């Protein structure tokens, strides 16, 4: 297998991967993931590079060491401008093509977004060779910018990445070894340029380090090579595959002296790189690969007569004044494509032949060393590692990406099924929770009237003790008005009245203070029922006797609501562990506010009813007890005394007060002790109905939550159905269109790897 065939096979692997990836995009787009796109970008980059050639050689050296001239010499024509400053703006990969129409330059770049930062999508722009050399190369004045911040207007919105230049194949070293020439920016020109050069050190096979004709290296260059080229964390180039080229050897006073200086320079670089612990044999290996060279002489052989103006770059065609910010004519006068060489002019007078030029340029030495290094690249497995490992790893990663996506489909389908099943289980618990809440709150509503009556019954003695002082004050204030007394100036006037007449007159008189008694008793009972806690005044101070009925009900209702809402949401959250359902947090204060508002209306209604019950109780008491008192006293007075009216009135009032004092408390106690209790049957039903309407609003809202989630589950069920329908298609596609062809390709890669290891590659 020849190097050319090896290179074509590697390129075919990349094309195969590219076609497979394209089919995934068109036929099975759901298999495309971010990880797969990343592999495609990597594959696209490798494919572009492999189409240029096989052996990748980077050119390193300080500005004006002749990198561009050497590249042009190996390429056989002017590819990049030969000027006295760092020329190309971006790292440029130069390869070969058999198609004239394909002789273009692909420039990769990133768009600059609104924030002034480079985007993530790598883009490509095609340029002609002349346009590339015009617009993507630094001018003389640009070299003065230490940070390379000056950008032509056309590049303001572009972050340039790399350029890939394709030239027609020709006879020579570049074609013979299927070489790709990587033009880096002059080291130590700027930090940005150095970073770009380091980036390419990871993706090439060999390196040409160009030195000036004296073979020396300054401290900055020495430190740069030691920290990058010989640093395995930065460069993936095998140190033994580095060729030191003493360029412009035609200018050297002594070739022997230049080579000696170069040996010293290499040793100084290695000492810094390996901290004075140079690997055994490395110094000797690199010194055996020192090449004195004249890229200019080699270039002249290919180009023809000096200074080969017919092949020179016309870098000013079709440019406007704004591109250079000054007059075109002035720029033309200040730029020379190739500097004249006095020493060469002297030799030119002797009519040097092509053979003499090549001999004086030491071109045979370069070919010999280059052939040896490329043989080592194949022999030590570098070519396998650098070129076969890439399509192999990309293929394996693509298989893995597709496999992971297929498994993700299945996992998503299983997750949906599990979630549906889990929610069906939770729905049973939600129904149980709702039923328990309904039962608890209904019981609570029923218990409130019952508990209120029981509370009053239990504390009736304390209630009567609290009522008695106010009752006594009100009864003490009861009297017969002066107007009524004046109607009966003599006792005989009173005797004319029957017992019923006296009852009607005097009950009406006493009833004038009845409202005070009703209001006092009603306020007391309402306070005992609706205050936070019931208190009894004693000589030592107020003493809490019990939790008021309403306060007890409110606490139990709030506790029941909180438990229900919290439990309901906890159950839903247990299903929504991946946060796929949109659940709005419930603010329990909303329910508390609603219930408080509704309860305030209920309290007012209850107080009205209590006042009505008290009014009826007092009316009944006066109607029954006062009638008996007046009837008994009037009968007794008629029979025995018949004294003056004032005596009658006073005794009648005294009798009425005595009867009412005992009768009111007895009637209250009897009312409380009856089965309907003080609240009564009608009021109990009214309280229950009001509370029963109030509490279920919470349950209704929780049911709305569940209903919304059930709608989301319906969507998941549809998606699960789609997954199941597509599952077989994607399984078959992945097996037949991705895994099978890539596995076959991996077998071919393995055959090529064995061929390279067994030295079956013909250089």
HEC-encoded secondary structure of 611-664? HHHHHHHHHHHHHHHHHHHHHHHHHHHHHHCCCCHHHHHHHHHHHHHHHHHHHH
Average pLDDT in the chain? 77
Q: Choose between 561 and 545: higher pLDDT.
A: 561
Residue 41 falls inside a structural domain: no
Cα 459 to Cα 92: distance, rounded to the nearest angstrom: 101
Q: Which among 360, 380, 400 is the end of a domain?
A: 380
* Position 709 in a domain: no
Q: Tell which wins on pLDDT, 700 or 185.
A: 700
Instruction: Answer left, alpha or beta for residue 231, where phi above 0 means left and psi between -120 and 50 means alpha.
Output: beta
Over 70: is that where the pLDDT of 744 sits? Answer: yes
Residue 563: its pLDDT value, please? 84
349 in the same domain as 476: no
Q: Is 371 in the same domain as 465?
A: no
Reported confidence tier of residue 32, pLDDT bands at 50, 70, 90: confident
The predicted structure's pLDDT at residue 266:
94
How do strand 55-60 and strand 179-183 relate by DSSP bridges? parallel
User: What DSSP character marks residue 701?
Assistant: H
| 378, pLDDT greater than 50 | yes
527 and 633 in a common domain: yes
Domain termination site, one of 636, 671, 694: 694
| Claim to verify: residue 365 and residue 485 sit in the same structural domain | no
599 and 686 inside one domain: yes
The answer as to whether 453 is a domain residue is: no
The CATH number linked to 176 is 3.40.50.300
Q: Is residue 719 in a domain?
A: no
Residue 439 domain flag: no
Q: What is the pTM of this model?
A: 0.55
Query: What is the count of structural domains for the chain?
Result: 2
Structural domain containing residue 57: 52-380
Least confident of 152-161, 335-344, 462-471: 335-344
Q: What is the pLDDT of residue 585?
A: 57
In a shared domain, residues 347 and 469: no
**Pairwise CA distance, residues 666 & 446, whole Å:** 28
Question: Does 464 lie in the same domain as 354?
Answer: no
Q: Which residue has the higher pLDDT, 106 or 695?
A: 106
Does some domain include residue 189?
Answer: yes
Q: Quick one: how far is CA 55 from the chain centroid?
A: 43
Residue 540 has pLDDT above 70, yes or no: no
Question: Does 762 map to a domain?
Answer: no
Is there a domain that residue 599 lies in? yes
Spatial contact of 448 and 552, defined as CB atoms under 8 Å apart: no
Identify whether residues 348 and 247 lie together within a single domain.
yes
> Is 159 found in the same domain as 258?
yes
Q: What are phi and psi of 160, to 5 degrees?
A: -65, 140
Last residue of a domain, one of 651, 673, 694: 694
Q: Are residues 364 and 463 in the same domain?
A: no
Same-domain check for residues 338 and 476 = no
Tell whether 349 and 488 lie within a shared domain.
no
């Amino acid at each position: 297998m020849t190097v050319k065939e090896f290179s074509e096979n590697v390129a075919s692997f990349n094309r195969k991967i590219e076609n497979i990836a394209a089919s995934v995009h068109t036929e099975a787009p759901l298999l495309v993931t971010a990880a797969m796109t990343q592999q495609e970008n990597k594959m696209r980059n490798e494919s572009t590079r492999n189409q240029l050639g096989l052996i990748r050689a980077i050119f390193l050296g300080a500005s004006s060491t002749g990198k561009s001239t050497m590249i042009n010499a190996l390429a056989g024509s002017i590819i990049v401008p030969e000027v006295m400053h760092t020329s190309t703006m971006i790292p440029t990969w130069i390869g070969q093509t058999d198609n004239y129409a394909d002789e273009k330059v692909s420039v990769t770049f990133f768009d600059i977004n609104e924030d002034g930062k480079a985007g993530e999508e790598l883009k490509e722009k095609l340029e002609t060779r002349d346009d590339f050399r015009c617009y993507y190369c630094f001018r003389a004045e640009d070299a003065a910018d230490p940070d390379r911040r000056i950008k032509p207007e056309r590049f303001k919105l572009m972050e340039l990445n790399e350029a890939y230049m394709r030239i027609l194949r020709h006879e020579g070293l570049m074609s013979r070894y299927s070489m790709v020439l990587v033009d880096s920016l002059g080291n130590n020109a700027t930090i940005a340029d150095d970073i770009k050069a380091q980036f390419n050190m990871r993706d090439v096979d060999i390196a040409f380090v160009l030195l000036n004709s004296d073979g020396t290296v300054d401290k900055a260059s020495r430190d740069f090579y030691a920290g990058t080229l010989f640093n395995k964390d930065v460069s993936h180039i095998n140190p033994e595959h580095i060729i030191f080229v003493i360029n412009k050897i035609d200018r050297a006073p002594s070739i022997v002296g230049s080579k000696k200086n170069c040996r010293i320079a290499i040793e100084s670089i290695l000492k810094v790189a390996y901290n004075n612990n140079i690997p055994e044999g490395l110094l000797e290996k690199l010194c055996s690969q020192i090449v004195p060279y004249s890229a200019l002489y080699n270039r002249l052989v290919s180009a023809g007569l000096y200074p080969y103006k017919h092949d020179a770059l016309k870098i000013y065609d079709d440019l406007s004044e704004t591109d250079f910010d000054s007059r075109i004519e002035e720029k033309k006068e200040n730029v020379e494509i190739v500097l004249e060489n006095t020493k060469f002019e002297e030799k030119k007078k002797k009519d040097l032949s092509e053979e003499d030029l090549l001999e004086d340029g030491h071109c045979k030495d370069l070919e010999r060393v280059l052939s040896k290094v490329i043989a080592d690249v194949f022999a030590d497995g570098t070519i396998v590692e650098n070129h076969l490992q890439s399509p192999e790893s990309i293929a394996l990663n693509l298989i893995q990406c597709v496999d992971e996506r297929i498994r993700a489909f299945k996992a998503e389908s299983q997750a949906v099924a599990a979630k549906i099943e889990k929610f069906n289980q939770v729905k049973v618990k939600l129904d149980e929770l709702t039923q328990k809440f309904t039962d608890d709150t209904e019981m609570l509503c029923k218990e409130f009237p019952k508990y209120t009556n029981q509370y009053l019954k239990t504390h009736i003695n304390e209630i009567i003790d609290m009522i008695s002082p106010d009752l006594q004050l009100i009864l003490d204030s009861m009297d017969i008005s002066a107007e009524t007394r004046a109607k009966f100036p003599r006792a005989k006037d009173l005797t004319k009245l029957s017992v019923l007449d006296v009852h009607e007159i005097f009950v009406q008189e006493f009833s004038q203070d009845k409202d005070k008694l009703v209001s006092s008793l009603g306020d007391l009972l309402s306070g005992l029922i609706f205050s936070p806690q019931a208190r009894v005044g004693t000589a030592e101070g107020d003493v809490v006797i019990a939790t008021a009925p309403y306060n007890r009900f409110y606490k139990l209702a709030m506790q029941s609501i909180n438990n229900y809402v919290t439990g309901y949401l906890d159950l839903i959250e247990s299903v929504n562990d991946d946060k796929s359902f949109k659940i709005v947090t419930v603010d329990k204060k909303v329910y508390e506010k609603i219930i408080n508002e509704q309860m305030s209306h209920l309290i007012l209604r209850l107080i009205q009813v209590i006042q009505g019950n008290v009014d009826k109780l007092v009316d009944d008491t006066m109607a029954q007890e006062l009638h008996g008192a007046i009837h008994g006293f009037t009968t007794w007075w008629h029979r025995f005394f018949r004294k003056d009216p004032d005596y009658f009135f006073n005794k009648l009032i005294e009798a009425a007060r005595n009867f009412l004092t005992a009768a009111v408390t007895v009637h209250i106690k009897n009312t409380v002790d009856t089965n309907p209790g003080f609240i009564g049957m009608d009021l109990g039903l009214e309280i229950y109905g009001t509370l029963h309407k109030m509490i279920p609003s919470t349950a209704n809202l929780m049911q709305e939550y569940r209903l919304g989630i059930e709608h989301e589950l319906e969507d998941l069920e549809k998606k699960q159905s789609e997954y199941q329908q597509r599952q077989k298609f994607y399984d078959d596609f992945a097996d037949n269109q991705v895994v099978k062809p890539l596995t076959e390709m991996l077998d071919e890669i393995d055959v090529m790897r064995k061929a390279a290891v067994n030295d079956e590659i013909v250089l």
